[in-house]
């Protein structure tokens, strides 16, 4: 399956992205609207942070209907830690969007990303919604830009697959950058497809895809108040509605997984102040959960992450983390590799020369594989280093 880094709406969708004025820089778009021209199956995955942004609370209520028509989003303001007024503002965003598009308010999902604890500028939001509704187009290219915050590039992906013998498109946009961590960070991802999918099956597919993509990335270990992944499937392709019994279900599921993984990796690549992408494999754990705990502890260790920034991924710092990560270990059974080079064997220095290691680690991405030597549990995390620039970017 070929993933293209482009934004092509599936049939029956229109979108727009505008500068409403939430961001002070007039050249930066800050609002996005996506509309399905017919009722669509809807599914969503939301942050597990107890402090949830107002729009997340709203969407979590609405998603139980399993249907949706539109996504309205703003960047520059997260509408989080804004109390009861924030909830009213989120509802008002949906109401205004319903009025501007003629859709039912209950079918509109609201997303915000940006600064926390600041009231939404509702006059600006209202005028932005008017502009968006006026500019909706099936050929729009701006929607993926309207959701960006400190991202340095757009994150889009599209692919087509054959379902019931006919071509079906899946497209997605995402934003990431700061505060990216294991359990979904300040990240948004909207997926659109013209496939017909039964709602419960769509939710199950999204859970699976998110579990192997956005929940496998870690930049700084923090977990945001606004993380949301949302999918709309409008059925324009006319296929027999997909569910796990459909012969082409695996095709659809793999496409969803491939798109979300692609975007997750693009988010890591654009992490604030990161210079290296590390694919971290932990294997040989007693079980998958142990492997996951160990991987997350490694990916969240400041000493490990700063060592990655410095080209030399000191094996002993990883050993140190494995010792406090939680899962039981046997120091003498641990092997660690950088790509295929052993850097620790049996818990000791493997003796690989610094030059050999540097030949790998000077690249902008490489893998680290930790074999605990205890069982068959394994986990993978896509993570990054911690640079001086990361600190500089997040000081203010």
Which of residues 141 and 348 has its CB atom nearest to its own copies in the complex?
Answer: 348
Which of residues 104 and 320 has its CB atom nearest to its own copies in the complex?
Answer: 320
**Cβ-count burial of 328 within 10 angstroms (0-12 exposed, 13-18 middle, 19+ buried)?**
exposed
Binding string, residues 207-246; x marks residues near its own copies by CB under 8 A = -------------xxxxxx---------------------
Q: Annotated catalytic residue: which of 47, 124, 160, 186?
A: 186
Q: What is the rounded distance in angstroms from the CA atom of residue 25 to the CA atom of residue 23?
A: 6
Q: What is the rounded distance in angstroms from the CA atom of residue 29 to the CA atom of residue 7?
A: 16
For residues 222-260, one letter each, b for 16 or more C-beta atoms within 10 angstroms of the residue's C-beta and e for the rest, the string is bbbbbbbbbbbbbbbbebeebbeebebbebbbebbbbbb
Per rule CB under 8 A, is residue 322 in the interface with its own copies? yes
**Catalytic annotation present for 186:** yes
- 298-317: which residues touch its own copies (CB under 8 A)? 300-303, 306-307, 309-312, 315-317
Phi, psi dihedrals of residue 115, rounded to the nearest 5°:
-70, 140
Least distance between its own copies and beta carbon 310 (Å): 3
Q: What is the rounded distance in angstroms from the CA atom of residue 87 to the CA atom of residue 75?
A: 17
Contacts of 319 (CB under 8 A, 6+ apart): 331, 334, 336, 344, 347
Which of residues 57 and 99 has its CB atom nearest to its own copies in the complex?
Answer: 57
Instruction: Give me the residues paired with residue 379 across strands.
Output: 282
Q: What is the rounded distance in angstroms from the CA atom of residue 111 to the CA atom of residue 108?
A: 10
- 169-198: which residues touch its own copies (CB under 8 A)? 178-179, 183
Per rule CB under 8 A, is residue 26 in the interface with its own copies? no
Which of residues 83 and 247 has its CB atom nearest to its own copies in the complex?
Answer: 83
Per rule CB under 8 A, is residue 17 in the interface with its own copies? no
DSSP string covering 266-291, please?
Answer: HHHHT-TT---EEEEEEEEESSHHHH
Span interacting with its own copies, options 75-83, 194-202, 353-361, 369-377, rule CB under 8 A: 75-83
- 336-375: which residues touch its own copies (CB under 8 A)? 344, 346-349
Contacts to its own copies by CB under 8 A: 48-52, 80-83, 115-118, 178-179, 183, 220-225, 300-303, 306-307, 309-312, 315-317, 319-324, 328-329, 331-332, 344, 346-349, 386-388, 390-392, 394-396
């Amino acid at each position: 399956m070929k993933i293209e880094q482009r934004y092509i709406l599936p049939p029956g969708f229109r979108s727009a992205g505008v500068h409403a004025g939430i961001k002070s820089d007039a050249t930066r778009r800050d609002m996005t609207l996506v509309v399905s021209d017919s009722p669509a199956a809807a599914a969503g995955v939301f942050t597990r942070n107890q402090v949830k942004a107002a729009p997340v609370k709203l969407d979590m209520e609405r998603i139980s209907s399993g249907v949706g028509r539109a996504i309205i989003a703003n960047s520059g303001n997260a509408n989080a830690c804004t109390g009861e007024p924030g909830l009213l503002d989120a509802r008002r965003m949906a109401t205004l969007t319903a009025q501007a598009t003629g859709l039912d308010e209950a079918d509109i999902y609201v997303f915000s990303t940006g600064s926390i604890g600041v009231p939404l500028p509702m006059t600006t939001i209202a005028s932005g919604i008017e502009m968006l509704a006026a500019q909706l187009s099936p050929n729009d290219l701006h929607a993926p830009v309207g959701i960006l915050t400190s991202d340095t590039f757009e994150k889009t992906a599209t692919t087509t697959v054959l379902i019931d013998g006919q071509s079906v498109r899946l497209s997605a946009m995402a934003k990431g950058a700061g505060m990216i961590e294991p359990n979904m960070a300040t990240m948004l991802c909207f997926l659109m497809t013209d496939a017909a999918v039964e709602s419960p099956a769509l939710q199950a597919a999204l859970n699976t895809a998110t579990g192997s993509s956005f929940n496998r990335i870690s930049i700084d270990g923090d977990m945001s108040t606004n993380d949301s992944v949302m999918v709309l499937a409008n059925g324009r392709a006319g296929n027999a509605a997909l569910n796990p019994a459909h012969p082409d279900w695996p095709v659809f599921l793999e496409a969803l997984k491939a798109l979300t993984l692609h975007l997750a990796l693009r988010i890591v690549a654009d992490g604030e102040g990161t210079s290296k992408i590390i694919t971290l494999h932990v294997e040989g754990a007693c079980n998958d959960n142990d492997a996951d705990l160990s991987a997350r502890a490694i990916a969240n260790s400041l000493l490990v992450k700063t060592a990655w920034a410095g080209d030399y991924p000191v094996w002993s710092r990883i050993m140190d983390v494995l010792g406090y990560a939680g899962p039981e270990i046997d120091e003498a059974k641990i092997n660690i590799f950088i790509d295929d080079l052993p850097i620790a064997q049996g818990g000791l220095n493997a003796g690989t020369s610094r030059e050999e290691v540097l030949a790998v680690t000077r690249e902008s991405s490489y893998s680290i594989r930790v074999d605990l030597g205890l069982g068959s549990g394994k986990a993978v995390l896509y993570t990054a280093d911690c640079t001086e620039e990361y600190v500089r970017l997040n000081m203010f």
